[in-house]
A and B are shown apart, each in its own frame.
Chain A
Amino acid sequence: MKLGGPVVMLGLLIVQHGFPKFLQTLVNSVALGSLYALIALGYTLVYGVLRFINFAHSDVFAVGAWLSFTFATAFGWVATSSPLWGMPLVLLLVMAACALLGVTIEILAYRPLRKAPRLNVLITAIGVSLFLQNVGQLSSVFGTQPQRMPSLIEDRSLFTIAQVHIRLVDVTVIALALALMMALQWMVFRTRLGRAMRAVSFDEKVASLMGINVNRVVTITFAIGSALAAAGGLLFALKYEGLKQTADATWVLLGLKAFVAAVVGGIGNVRGAVAGALLIGVVEVFGASYLSPHMRDVYVFVILIVVLLLKPSGILGKAVREKV
C-alpha cells in the first residue's frame, strides 16, 4: 500500500511525542495551509489564463493584510458595538479594495505586454512588486513601523479535545478559507464565467473565436485572485497579529511558499493549488515543531526541488507536451 509509510510515520510521531502535541501541530498546519491555499489560488488562476507568474501577487496579499489593519482600526467601533459584524465588514471592504488594485495592475502594467516575450512580463511583474512594496512603506501610506492588528475575533478557545484548546481564530481561518475555496470551485466549474475562464486557459485564440471576451475574462481573473489574496491577508493578520512593513522579506517569503504550493499541486490547476498548499503547510509546521524550527523555509524548498525533479507538472497536474 502506498499509504502505509505515512501512516506508520504518523503513528510513530503520536507515540513518541504524545497526542496533544500532534493535534496542536495538525491544527496549526491546516490553518497555515489554508492561508497558503488562498494565496496559491491567485497564482494558479493567473497562470492558468496568462501563463505567467504574477510576482506582484505576494504584495497584493501584503497590501490586503495592511488594508485590513487600516479598516479594522478605522471601523473599530463596529467591532466593539456588534462583534458579529466587524469581521464580515472588514472582509468585504478589503476584498473589494484589493480586487480593484489587481484590476488596475492588470490594465496598466500587464495588458500592454500581452504579446511580449514572457521574460518581459516577468520583469514587469517584479517592477510592480517593487512598486507596491515601496509605496506601501512611505510614511503617508502604511509606514515602516510594525503594527499590531486589533483583534476582530474574541481570543478564546472554542472547544477542547485531549487538553488541546482549539482557538476560535484557527477555526475561523479554516472555515472561511474553506468557504471561499468552495465558492471558487463552484464558480470555475459550474458557471458560464468559469467555463469562459477554463476555455481561455485551454486555448486563448480559439476561445476568442467562440465569442469570449478574453480581456474581460483576464480582468475578472485578476479581480478574483486579488480578492482571495486580500481575504488571506486579513486571515493572516488575525492569526499572527504582528504586521511588518510591506517591503519586509516575510511577505515575499509567504508569497513564495504559496507559489511553491501552486507548483507542487500542479500550476494552473485549482484543486491542485489547495492540495499543494495543505501539503506545504503540513510539511512546514510538522518540520518546524518536530525537527528544527529554524529550517522551516528550507523544508518547503526541498519539497519544491523534489517535485520539480520527479513530477515537474505537479501532483495533480497533467504533463503537457510542448508543441512546435
Chain B
Amino acid sequence: MKTISERTRALHPGGLGSALRSAWPVVAGVVVALVLQSVLAPAVGPFAAKMVLDIGIAIVLAVSLNIVNGFAGQFSIGHAGFMMVGGYAAAIVTYYGSIKLWGSPEPHGGFLGSGDLLFLFACVLGGCVAALAGLVVGLPSLRLRGDYLAIVTLGFGEIMRVLAQRSKDVLYPEDVAGKSMWEVSDNLGGALGFSGLPSYVSPTPWNEDTGHAGIFFVYLIVAIVLISAYRLKLSSKGRALLAVRENEIAAEAMGINTSRVKVAAFVMAAFFAGVGGALFAHEFGNTLTPRELGFQKSIDIVIMVVLGGMGSISGAVVAAAALTLMPELFREFAEYRMIIYALALILVMILRPQGLFGIKELWETTAWRRIRARIVRGKEAP
C-alpha cells in the first residue's frame, strides 16, 4: 500500500532525472547539427550545402514569426526589420571586434575557437538588441487592436531601412585604430551594404582553413528555436497566447493579462529574428544590405507562416524549406514568382483559412495518422 507522499514522489521525479529528461531534445539537436555538418555537408557539395544553410535560416525566421502570427494571432509584417537590427548589431561586433582583437576582419581560430565564440556572442547580442527594439515597437501598438501592430511593424521596418541606408561607409581595418566601438557604430556601409564581414556561416566542410562549421551553428540555433517554440506551445504561457488568438475578450475574462503576453511573445519573436539576421549577415555569399532585408523579406516570412499553418511549428518548417527550394527549381519563372505567391496567399486564405496544417503539427494531422496506421497494420499482417 503506497502512501500519498510516495505517490506524489513518483509523479515528481528527482531534480536530476527531470533535468536529464528535459535536456534530451537539446542533446539530440546538437547531435543532429554535428551530423549535418560532418556527414551531409561534404557529401552534397557546396551548392546544396548553401541551400541547407538557407533553409535553416528560413526555419529560424518562420518559426519565430509563428510565435507572434501563429500563437498570439497578432499580425507583424516587419520581421525583416528585426533581422536588420540583429544583423547589423552582430556585424558591428564581428567586423570591428575582429579588427580590434586580431587586426583583420577574417574568420579567426578553429572550431569553437575564439572567432567562433565571438560570432556566437554576436548572435546573442544581435538577438538582444532586436528584442529591445521589439519591446519599444510592441509596447504602444500591442495595447491597441491587432491591425495597428501591422502598420507599426511595417513602419518600423521602413524606418530601419532608411536609417541603415543613411549610415556611413564601412571603415577599413587601418582606419579603425584609435576609435571606440561607439564611434564606428554608424559606419555600416549605407545603401551598398555592410561588406567584408567574416563569413562564419559558410557551406564548406570544416577543417579547411576558411571553412567554419556554418551548418553546425545554424542547425544548433534551429534546434534551440524549435525546442523553445514547441515547449512554449505546450506551456501555460503558450496556452495563454492561443487563448488570446482565439478570443481576446474571453481570454481577458479568464484572467490573462493580454497585453503582457502579447508583448512577451513579440519580444521573443524579435529576439530569434535578430539571431536569424545575425546568421544571415554572416552567411557566405550574402551581403547585409538594407534593400535585401526590406518589406519583401518580411512578406516572404509571412507567407511561410501562413502557408504552413498559423500555429503549426512543423508546418512552418515544411513551408520554409519548400519556399526556399522553390525559386531554385523555377529559375526561369522568376518574374512570375511573386504573382504566384500572391495568388497562393489569397487562395489559401479563401479556401483553407487555417493554412495547410492549421494549428496541428505534422504528426497530428489526419493524413499522417492514416499513413502511420497503414504502415503499422502492414507490419502486423502475416
A interface with B by C-beta (< 8 Å): 52-53, 55, 109, 112-113, 116-124, 126-131, 133-135, 137-139, 247, 249, 252-253, 256, 259-260, 263, 294-295, 297-298, 301, 304-305, 308-309, 312, 322, 324
CB <8 Å contact, A122 and B150: yes
> What is the interface residue range for chain B against chain A?
35 or more
* Chain A CB within 8 A of B110 CB: no
CB-CB under 8 A for A127 and B158, given A322-B249, A324-B249: no
In the bound assembly, the distance between CA atoms of A113 and B346 in angstroms comes to 10
CB <8 Å contact, A297 and B159: yes
CB <8 Å contact, B349 and A308: no
What total count of A-B pairs have CB within 8 Å? 117
B244 to nearest A CB, angstroms? 12
- Given contacts A122-B75, A249-B295, list 5 more A-B pairs with CB under 8 A: A126-B77, A134-B339, A135-B339, A138-B335, A295-B162
CB <8 Å contact, B152 and A128: no
Q: Which residues of chain B are near A131, meaning CB under 8 Å?
A: 339, 342-343, 346
CB <8 Å contact, A134 and B342: yes
Q: Which residues of chain B are near A52, meaning CB under 8 Å?
A: 147
Interface string of B154-198 (1 = CB under 8 A from A): 111011011100100000000000000000000000000000000
B109 to nearest A CB, angstroms? 40
* Chain A CB within 8 A of B203 CB: no
CB <8 Å contact, A308 and B155: no
* Chain A CB within 8 A of B42 CB: no
A–B complex contacts, Cβ < 8 Å, 29 sampled:
A113-B350, A113-B353, A116-B349, A120-B353, A122-B147, A126-B302, A126-B345, A130-B299, A130-B341, A134-B338, A134-B342, A135-B339, A137-B335, A247-B338, A252-B154, A252-B158, A252-B295, A253-B158, A256-B158, A260-B155, A263-B151, A298-B163, A301-B152, A301-B156, A304-B151, A305-B141, A305-B152, A308-B141, A324-B249
Question: Of B155, B342, B345, B353, which one neighbours A256 at CB under 8 angstroms?
Answer: B155
In the bound assembly, the distance between CA atoms of A116 and B346 in angstroms comes to 13
CB <8 Å contact, B339 and A124: no
Question: Of A138, A304, A324, which one neighbours B155 at CB under 8 angstroms?
Answer: A304
Q: Which residues of chain A are near B103, meaning CB under 8 Å?
A: none
Q: Which residues of chain A are near B148, meaning CB under 8 Å?
A: 263, 308
B156 to nearest A CB, angstroms? 8
Q: Which residues of chain B are near A120, meaning CB under 8 Å?
A: 349, 353
CB <8 Å contact, A113 and B349: yes
Q: Which residues of chain A are near B143, meaning CB under 8 Å?
A: 312
**Nearest chain A residue, comparing its CB with the CB of B306:** A123
CB <8 Å contact, A123 and B75: yes
* Chain A CB within 8 A of B294 CB: yes
**Nearest chain A residue, comparing its CB with the CB of B250:** A324
A136 to nearest B CB, angstroms? 10
6 closest pairs, A vs B, by CB? A127-B345, A130-B342, A131-B342, A127-B346, A134-B338, A301-B155
Q: Which residues of chain B are near A256, meaning CB under 8 Å?
A: 151, 154-155, 158
**Nearest chain B residue, comparing its CB with the CB of A308:** B140
